[in-house]
């Protein structure tokens, strides 16, 4: 085979790669992020699967068209490098999925300063940093979709999750407002709002600082934990990936995509009752 022929093959491969759409996903090491990588890959997309420790990822690295690369949403240089590497390899980013996030559980008064900072660093400031890094490419190409993984907890609240809700409410406001400045440039913003799912979220992605021995909060906190343990968590993680894919491909103006039976039911209930009735319902259901 001549040198000219292999050059042609390389060019053809490059053109094929660049004709496919490309999605950039944060927090792709587990849970919704990993399921979303697999689904977009199955659908024939190029995928930039970003995570804090890519050296531990064996499964996704074996897929062709999937670039596994390091990104910590709190580390600007890792964000810049992941975005530039992805664009070099695939030609551009059509869809950004801001998925990386974690939760905190405990009373506000007991929350250590570091836990407060970290909750916002990852769930809000990190999401903003990644968005800002991807926007120049989307703006230059006048196309793009930014999908922010919020939560049902971005629209309704549970007790003892104040910081987590504060971050997800922030993500909701940011995403809703951002559409005004980005829609005229051909870029859409979307919110995916899952209910409870059995990922690593309630385990290694949950920072439980509790009550720090403050007696006034102890009994209600324990009641809440007891009820939380009984909360039905869905095992169908793929359902969330499907909704993220829908948000990326439906061509609709739609902003919010609740997902999961519990999320849909809770949001419907919330729309029908006022703040006081909702609070009483939540107090009753959580036993605090
Ligand atoms: P998960 O399996 O624990 O995944 C969380 C991901 O975030 C992990 O890949 C983790 O990476 C990553 N992450 C954490 N800090 C990061 C950082 N500084 N930089 C980059 N990545 C970071 O939980 P999940 O349920 O799939 O959570 C994904 C998103 O869904 C989160 O935004 C969460 O708030 C939201 N959500 C979850 C539920 C639920 O019930 N599961 C419900 C509503 C919303 P490492 O592997 O490096 O730790």
Ligand 1: lining residues by beta carbon, under 6 Å: 26-27, 29-33, 51-53, 72-74, 99-102, 122, 126, 149, 151, 194, 196-197, 199-201, 205
- For a mutational test of ligand 1's pocket, the pick from 60, 120, 201, 204, i.e. the residue with the most ligand atoms closer than 8 A to its C-beta, is 201
Task: State the catalytic residue, choosing from 29, 150, 151, 234.
Answer: 150
Q: Which pLDDT score, from 0 to 100, does residue 6 have?
A: 65
3-class state of residue 273 by DSSP: coil
168 is catalytic: yes
Q: What is the pTM of this model?
A: 0.95
Atom index in ligand 1 nearest the CA of residue 29 equals 9
Tens-place pLDDT, residues 76-133? 999 999 999 999 999 999 999 999 999 999 999 999 999 999 999 999 999 999 999 9
Q: How confident is the model at residue 3 (pLDDT cuts 50, 70, 90)?
A: low
- The full set of domain ranges for the chain reads 20-217+234-265
Give backbone dihedrals phi and psi of 23, rounded to 5 degrees, phi first.
-115, 140
pLDDT on residue 2: 55
Is 164 considered catalytic here? yes
218-245 pLDDT, tens per residue? Answer: 999 999 999 998 888 999 999 999 999 9
pLDDT tens across 18-56, in order? 789 999 999 999 999 999 999 999 999 999 999 999 999
Question: How confident is the model at residue 231, as a pLDDT?
Answer: 85
Catalytic: which of 29, 38, 129, 164? 164
DSSP line for 59-99:
TGGGSTTEEEEE--TT-HHHHHHHHHHHHHHHS--SEEEE-
Tens digit of each residue's pLDDT (9 = 90 or more) over 146-205 = 999 999 999 999 999 999 999 999 999 999 999 999 999 999 999 999 999 999 999 999
Residue bearing the CA closest to ligand 1, atom 36: 151
20-217+234-265 CATH choice from 3.20.20.140, 3.40.50.720, 3.40.50.150, 3.30.230.10: 3.40.50.720
Please tell me the predicted confidence (pLDDT) of residue 8.
Answer: 66
Percent of the chain with pLDDT over 70: 94
pLDDT at residue 1, as a whole number = 47
Name the strand (E) or helix (H) holding 120: helix 113-120
- Token pair in block for residue 212: 């720090």
Q: What would the mean pLDDT of 4-23 be, rounded to a whole number?
A: 73
| pLDDT, position 19 | 87
Cβ atoms of residues 100 and 126 within 8 Å? yes
Residue 259, pLDDT above cutoff 70: yes
How far apart, in whole angstroms, are the C-alpha atoms of residue 54 and residue 52?
A: 6
Beta bridge partner(s), residue 234 = 197
């Amino acid at each position: 085979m001549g040198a000219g022929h292999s050059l042609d093959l390389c060019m053809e491969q490059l053109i094929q790669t660049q004709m496919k759409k490309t999605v950039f996903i944060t927090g792709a090491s587990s849970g919704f992020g990993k399921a979303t990588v697999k689904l977009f890959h199955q659908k024939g997309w190029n995928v930039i699967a970003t995570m804090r420790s890519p050296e531990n990822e064996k499964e996704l690295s074996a897929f062709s068209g999937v670039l596994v690369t390091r990104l910590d949403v709190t580390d600007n240089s890792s964000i810049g490098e992941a975005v530039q590497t992805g664009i070099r390899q695939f030609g551009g980013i059509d869809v950004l999925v801001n998925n990386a996030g974690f939760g905190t559980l405990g009373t506000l008064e007991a929350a250590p300063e570091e836990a407060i900072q970290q909750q916002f660093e990852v769930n809000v400031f990190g999401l903003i940093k990644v968005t800002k890094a991807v926007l120049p490419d989307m703006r230059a190409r006048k196309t793009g979709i930014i999908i922010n993984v919020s939560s049902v907890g971005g629209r309704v609240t549970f007790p003892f999750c104040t910081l987590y809700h504060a971050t997800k409410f922030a993500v909701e406001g940011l995403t809703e407002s951002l559409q005004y400045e980005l829609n005229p440039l051909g870029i859409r913003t979307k919110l995916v709002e899952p209910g409870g799912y059995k990922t690593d979220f309630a385990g290694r992605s949950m920072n439980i600082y509790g009550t720090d021995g403050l007696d006034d909060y102890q009994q209600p906190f324990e009641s809440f934990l007891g009820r939380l343990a009984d909360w039905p968590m869905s095992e169908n993680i793929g359902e969330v990936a499907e909704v993220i894919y829908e948000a990326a491909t439906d061509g609709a103006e739609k902003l919010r995509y609740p997902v999961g039976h519990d999320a849909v039911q809770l949001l419907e209930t919330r729309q029908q009752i006022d703040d006081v009735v909702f609070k009483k319902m939540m107090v009753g259901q959580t036993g605090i």
